[in-house]
């Protein structure tokens, strides 16, 4: 455990030292980046060694002589630690060239401080072993990320995003606290124990699922996510979307393990939530015009895929199908790692684009691939990976989840129907994600620049490019040689003791071997075609000219298909859940006036949140306003009354 | 194994021939003599002999598109059991890999189209991204049915070995739905009438043809070859469902199989001759029919056949 705490200490001191040296801008950044990345590297090595050498790694301290804070690293914690430290390490390096405004030196220094606190608290969340330690770390995590979100607090939009995030994370924390309260009420201990009656367990699981789900971005608790991610600086979005929301997933899996109740209800709740988040997340993503908002909705989608995997695993556990359980859980966990890799890669790529062009609007960009080769190619790899295509990492985890789902097809009644729905939704999610990322690639990186903002861009800043190259490399390596990584996920599952006790590793090794073989053959065929192409083009005349306009001789860049037009017909299919609003005055008369087109897609959760939740609560509190009258004497009376009432009860 | 590799090679070589059958059928219905059955080979040779002109808007993705889509289609054929013979490659879950590999090919075809900055190609790309979503849902629905019938997730287990799936088996009646449903997918995925029209180049109505407007020379040849292979893949599955290859002698099986396969291609040709293309907004409903059929087939199997 010492190495683990040492790494957290180094990370935190990196942040604190950065704040002390804020007047020297470059020095401050160098210290911050060095401290954070050195600590993350140490933590990463430590977490990997603990993942492959499972044992009892625990530590506990008595805080203020009353509360005991204890921490423990098991396989599940170590697995999440690997993702947290790996992504944070690369994001820290990325930030060195991304944070390039010397006039905002103090703010940048504060950013490094909270960044380091966020990493440290995430690491503590996944290792906390009792409720006090968990809530402590959870709150530090929520607050530090709140301060990171409002980095650009001048813009009212960002302040609103920060406020929304603040409310959501604290309402979520309240639900978790309520769940812990119910547990404490039965057990009388702050430790995570399962000495509860069954009905209390179900209540605890549902409460904590809402709480953790709001952090993870499960539909309909995801409303903060598409606001907070665009507001935060890109390396923060990468960490928040890549790993911070996964602490919600960790919480759900951990609570499932703690409660140790194998009712199919839990699996059904998780699976249905996963399917809804998955499909709606990607549908809303298709309708976005803001690059970072689009990526944020894809986080909702991928959280959905992860939950589908975990839900299948839970159903496998409750119906005594260890293979299904192992496939579902390992697929879900591997997708946690995979998503943290490709999503942080995509956010970093989006960050470079936004930094160099100054706009987040997809339809204002175009043709960036020509000047931003590294960003474009790594973004392409990220897009292929998130669409779940072979030979990239997203495919491997989705493959495992599919195999788990097909195990459920052999059952009857409810698990059959749910598995069927899970498989079909995964297929639909895959197709929609492909549509969405061909849109992003095609509109942002390909074609011709739509506005001057996208012309003459460059991609200077090696500290931004190297992490993206590393992440893109990881996408390919996991996609081609998934063996070690699937085993890693299985190690994480093993510590849950749910299923792997009776499942041998051989079939999993075989699955990964099959993927490697198939991909190798694919590459071999590709090489053959490459040679064939080279032979066919040898000595031929190859000319260049404009794109064929089908007879039209005056094409302009404005005629290109935009992101909105690309997505329009798919969105029309999903009209009931994704109402599309268009503002387009019709062109009339011989000398028509200037016209415009504007469209946006409503998120039904956001749309109804106001009327269904916020307004009734406001009404209720309005009715209670007479308590708050401003008379200080009566307030003192309230306090006295409260103390007297409490004296009777305690 | 050698036999499987030979069959794989044969499939690639024969794919253009079978596609020409469709043209011949259409010519027959139109009262014309039609182009020779070897027309696709002539076209390919002609294209391979040419050079290319690239749009100034394009990047390396434009050249990568034809290669990846051809590569995906050729690799997919390796998993395909032909005439009941075992395929070159086969493993548990290979069918999922196949579907996602075809998805990879589609991603790059779309990327190559978007690379040209042409609004027509963007239009085609948007449709190419849309319709296959429904097809994939249907495909997985069919896979669920196949999994219920065989307990396997392997193309080779469905169409080769001792107990292949087929219309003449105990579970044959629901498979009739599957054949129709799969035929709809075949038409959609391979851009045939009534979803798309491969014959005209009127850009506004097209999906696949319009996406390859700017490709020329060997690149266009690769794309054509890729679509021949893809059509061969889907047609073989339909043919395998109709005909279960249990004639006793491999050579006899093989001969009858190719006749059945030819009939599938003729059916596509007849379809194209007697039907008009649907309006674009009607296409999703047409494709959704395939999902409904596959779903009913699954329900019937669960209730009655098992």
Residue of B nearest to A399 (CA): B96
CB contact (8 A) between residue B111 and residue A410: no
Residue B93 has pLDDT above 80, yes or no: yes
pTM over 0.90: yes
Is B80 in CB contact (< 8 Å) with chain A? no
Please, which residues 17-36 of chain B have a Cβ atom closer than 8 Å to chain A? Answer: none
CB contact (8 A) between residue B92 and residue A432: no
Count of CA atoms in the C-beta half-sphere (13 A) of B106 = 35
Question: Which of B94, B119, B132 has its CB closest to that of A561?
Answer: B119
Is B5 in CB contact (< 8 Å) with chain A? no
Mean pLDDT of chain B: 90
Residue of B nearest to A400 (CA): B93
Please, which residues 146-165 of chain B have a Cβ atom closer than 8 Å to chain A? Answer: 147-148, 151, 153
Question: Which of A369, A387, A423 has its CB closest to that of B144?
Answer: A423
Q: What is the pLDDT of residue A503?
A: 67
Domain-wise residue ranges, chain B: 2-305
Residue-wise pLDDT for B195-215, tens only, equals 888 877 666 667 888 888 899
Task: Collect all residues of chain B within an 8 Å Cβ-Cβ radius of residue A426.
Answer: 140
Residue-wise pLDDT for A601-633, tens only, equals 989 988 888 888 889 999 999 999 888 888 899
Task: Collect all residues of chain A within an 8 Å Cβ-Cβ radius of residue B94.
Answer: 514, 518
Measured between CA atoms, how close is A522 to chain B, in angstroms?
A: 6
**Chain A / chain B CB contacts < 8 angstroms:** 233
CB contact (8 A) between residue B101 and residue A522: yes
Strands A67-73 vs A57-63: parallel, antiparallel or unpaired = antiparallel
Task: Collect all residues of chain B within an 8 Å Cβ-Cβ radius of residue A440.
Answer: none
Task: Collect all residues of chain B within an 8 Å Cβ-Cβ radius of residue A559.
Answer: 119
Q: What is the mean pLDDT of residues B66-88?
A: 93
Least confident of A176-180, A193-197, B25-29, B122-126: A193-197
Q: What is the pLDDT of residue B303?
A: 77
Output Rg (C-alpha) for chain B, integer angstroms.
19
CB contact (8 A) between residue B127 and residue A428: no
Task: Collect all residues of chain A within an 8 Å Cβ-Cβ radius of residue B280.
Answer: 569
Measured between CA atoms, how close is A448 to chain B, in angstroms?
A: 6
Peptide bond into B158 cis (omega under 30): no
Task: Collect all residues of chain A within an 8 Å Cβ-Cβ radius of residue B115.
Answer: 442, 446-447
Q: Which of A536, A543, A555, A575 to probe the B interface (max B CBs under 10 A)?
A: A536
Report which DSSP code applies to A599. Answer: E
Measured between CA atoms, how close is B256 to chain A, in angstroms?
A: 30
Q: What is the mean pLDDT of residues A427-447?
A: 95
Residue-wise pLDDT for A39-56, tens only, equals 999 999 999 998 888 777
Q: Which of A396, A412, A522 to probe the B interface (max B CBs under 10 A)?
A: A522
Task: Collect all residues of chain B within an 8 Å Cβ-Cβ radius of residue A372.
Answer: none
CA distance B275 to B268: 11
Residue A357 has pLDDT above 50, yes or no: yes
| Alpha-carbon distances of A634 from A89, A190, A621, A638, A643, rounded to whole Å | 55, 37, 19, 6, 14
CB contact (8 A) between residue A446 and residue B125: no
Q: What is the pLDDT of residue B7?
A: 93
CB contact (8 A) between residue A566 and residue B126: yes
Q: What is the mean pLDDT of residues A117-131?
A: 94
Closest CA to B64 of B233, B230, B226: B226
Q: What is the pLDDT of residue B205?
A: 66
Q: What is the mean pLDDT of residues A149-161?
A: 91
Count of CA atoms in the C-beta half-sphere (13 A) of A160 = 7
Higher confidence at residue A391 or residue A610?
Answer: A391
CA distance B68 to A523: 10
Report which DSSP code applies to B85. Answer: P
Q: Which of B78, B92, B111 to probe the A interface (max A CBs under 10 A)?
A: B111
CA distance A428 to A96: 39
Residue A66 has pLDDT above 80, yes or no: no
Task: Collect all residues of chain A within an 8 Å Cβ-Cβ radius of residue B185.
Answer: none
Q: What is the pLDDT of residue A370?
A: 92
- Here the tokens at position B172 are 């044959």
CA distance A476 to A494: 26
Measured between CA atoms, how close is A302 to chain B, in angstroms?
A: 17
Is B202 in CB contact (< 8 Å) with chain A? no
CB contact (8 A) between residue A548 and residue B118: yes
What stretches of A188-245 show up as alpha helix (H) in DSSP?
A: 198-216, 225-231, 234-239
CB contact (8 A) between residue A442 and residue B110: yes
Q: What is the pLDDT of residue B90?
A: 92
Interface confidence, given as ipTM, is 0.95
A500 pLDDT band (50/70/90 cuts)? very low
Question: Which of B56, B110, B141 has its CB closest to that of A424?
Answer: B141
Residue A189 has pLDDT above 50, yes or no: yes
Please, which residues 40-79 of chain B have a Cβ atom closer than 8 Å to chain A? Answer: 48, 50-59, 61, 67-68, 70-72, 74-75, 78
Question: Which of A438, A446, A566 has its CB closest to that of B107?
Answer: A438
CB of B232 closer than 8 Å to CB of B14: yes
Q: What is the pLDDT of residue A238?
A: 95
Question: Which of A370, A406, A522 has its CB closest to that of B147?
Answer: A406
In DSSP terms, A542 is beta-bridged to: B52
Least confident of A133-147, A374-388, A588-602, B34-48: A588-602
Residue B306 has pLDDT above 60, yes or no: no
Residue-wise pLDDT for A569-603, tens only, equals 999 999 989 998 888 888 888 888 888 888 889 89
B280 pLDDT band (50/70/90 cuts)? confident
A424 pLDDT band (50/70/90 cuts)? very high
- Here the tokens at position A144 are 């530090």
Closest CA to B27 of B218, B281, B266: B266
Q: What is the pLDDT of residue B296?
A: 92
Is B109 in CB contact (< 8 Å) with chain A? no
């Amino acid at each position: 455990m010492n190495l683990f705490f040492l790494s957290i200490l180094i990370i935190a001191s990196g942040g604190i030292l950065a704040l002390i040296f804020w007047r020297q801008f470059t020095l401050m950044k160098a210290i911050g980046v060095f401290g954070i990345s050195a600590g993350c590297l140490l933590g990463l090595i430590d977490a990997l060694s603990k993942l492959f050498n499972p044992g009892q790694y625990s530590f506990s301290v008595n805080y203020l002589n009353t509360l005991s804070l204890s921490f423990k690293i098991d396989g599940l914690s170590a697995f999440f630690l690997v993702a947290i430290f790996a992504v944070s390490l690369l994001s820290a390096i990325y930030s060195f060239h991304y944070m390039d405004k010397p006039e905002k030196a103090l703010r940048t220094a504060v950013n490094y401080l909270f960044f380091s606190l966020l990493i440290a608290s995430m690491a503590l969340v996944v290792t906390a072993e009792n409720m006090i330690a968990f809530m402590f770390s959870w709150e530090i995590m929520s607050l530090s990320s709140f301060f990171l979100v409002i980095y650009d607090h001048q813009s009212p939009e960002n302040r609103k995003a920060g406020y929304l995030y603040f409310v959501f994370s604290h309402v979520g924390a309240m639900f978790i606290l309520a769940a812990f309260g119910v547990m404490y009420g039965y057990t009388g201990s702050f430790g995570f124990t399962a000495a509860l009656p069954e009905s209390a367990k179900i209540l605890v699981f549902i409460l904590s699922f809402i709480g953790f789900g709001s952090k993870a971005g499960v539909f309909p608790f995801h409303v903060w996510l598409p606001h907070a991610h665009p507001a935060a600086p890109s390396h923060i979005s990468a960490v928040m979307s890549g790993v911070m929301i996964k602490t919600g997933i960790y919480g759900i899996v951990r609570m499932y393990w703690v409660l140790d109740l194998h009712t199919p209800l839990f699996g059904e709740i998780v699976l249905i939530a996963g399917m809804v988040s998955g499909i709606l997340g990607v549908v809303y993503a298709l309708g976005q015009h803001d690059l970072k908002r689009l990526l944020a909705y894809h986080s909702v989608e991928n959280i959905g895929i992860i939950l589908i995997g975990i839900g299948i695993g839970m159903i496998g556990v409750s119906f005594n199908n260890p293979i299904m359980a192992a496939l579902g859980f390992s697929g879900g966990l591997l997708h946690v790692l995979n998503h943290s890799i490709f999503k942080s890669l995509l956010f970093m790529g989006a960050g470079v684009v936004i930094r160099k062009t100054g706009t987040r609007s997809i339809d204002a960009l175009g043709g960036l691939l020509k000047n931003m080769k590294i960003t474009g190619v790594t973004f392409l790899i990220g897009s292929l990976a998130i669409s779940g295509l072979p030979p990239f990492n997203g495919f491997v985890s989705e493959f495992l989840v599919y195999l788990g789902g097909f195990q459920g097809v052999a059952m009857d009644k409810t698990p059959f129907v749910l598995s069927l729905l899970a498989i079909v939704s995964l297929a639909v999610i895959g197709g929609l994600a492909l549509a969405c990322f061909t849109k992003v690639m095609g509109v942002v990186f390909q074609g011709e620049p739509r506005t001057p903002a996208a012309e003459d861009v460059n991609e200077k800043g090696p500290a931004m490019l190297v992490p993206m190259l590393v992440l893109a490399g990881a996408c390919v390596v996991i996609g081609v040689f998934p063996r070690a990584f699937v085993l890693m996920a299985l190690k994480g599952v093993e510590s849950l003791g749910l299923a792997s006790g009776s499942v041998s590793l051989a079939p999993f090794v075989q699955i990964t071997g099959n993927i490697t073989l198939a991909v190798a053959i694919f590459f071999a065929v590709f090489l053959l075609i490459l040679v064939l192409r080279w032979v066919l083009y040898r000595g031929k005349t190859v000319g260049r000219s404009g794109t064929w306009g089908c007879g039209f001789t005056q094409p302009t860049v404005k005629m290109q298909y935009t992101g909105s037009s690309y997505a329009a017909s798919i969105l029309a299919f999903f009209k009931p859940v994704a109402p599309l609003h268009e503002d387009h005055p019709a062109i009339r008369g011989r000398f028509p006036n200037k016209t415009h087109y504007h469209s946006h897609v409503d998120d039904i959760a956001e749309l109804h949140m106001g009327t269904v939740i916020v307004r009734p609560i406001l009404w209720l509190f309005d009715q209670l306003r007479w308590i708050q009258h401003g008379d200080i004497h009566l307030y003192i009376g309230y306090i006295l009354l409260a103390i007297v009432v409490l004296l009777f009860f305690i | 194994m050698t036999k499987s590799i030979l069959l794989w090679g044969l499939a690639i070589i024969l794919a253009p021939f079978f596609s020409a059958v469709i043209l011949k059928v259409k010519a027959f219905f139109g009262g014309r003599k039609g182009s020779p059955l070897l027309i696709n080979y002539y076209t390919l040779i002609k294209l391979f002999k040419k050079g290319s002109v690239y749009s100034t808007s394009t990047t390396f993705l434009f050249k990568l598109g034809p290669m990846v889509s051809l590569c995906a289609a050729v690799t997919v054929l390796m998993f395909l059991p032909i005439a009941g013979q075992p395929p070159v490659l086969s493993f548990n879950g290979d069918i999922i890999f196949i579907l996602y590999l075809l998805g990879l090919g589609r991603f790059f075809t779309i990327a190559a189209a978007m690379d040209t900055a042409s609004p027509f190609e963007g239009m085609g790309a948007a449709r190419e991204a849309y319709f296959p979503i429904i097809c994939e849902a249907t495909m997985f629905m069919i896979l669920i049915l196949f999994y219920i019938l065989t307990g396997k997730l392997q193309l080779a287990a469905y169409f080769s070995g001792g107990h292949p799936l087929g219309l003449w088996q105990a579970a044959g009646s629901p498979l009739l739905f599957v054949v129709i449903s799969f035929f709809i997918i075949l038409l959609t995925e391979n851009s045939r009438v009534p979803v798309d029209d491969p014959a005209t180049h009127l850009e506004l109505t097209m999906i696949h043809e319009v996406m390859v407007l700017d490709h020329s020379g060997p690149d266009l040849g690769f794309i054509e070859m890729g679509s021949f292979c893809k059509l061969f893949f889907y047609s073989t599955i339909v043919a395998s469902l109709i005909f279960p290859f249990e004639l006793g002698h491999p050579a006899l099986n093989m001969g009858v199989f190719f006749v059945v396969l030819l009939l599938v291609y003729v059916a596509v040709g007849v379809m194209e001759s007697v039907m008009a293309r649907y309006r674009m907004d009607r296409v999703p409903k047409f494709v959704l029919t395939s999902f409904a059929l596959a779903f009913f087939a699954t329900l019937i199997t669960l209730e009655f056949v098992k």
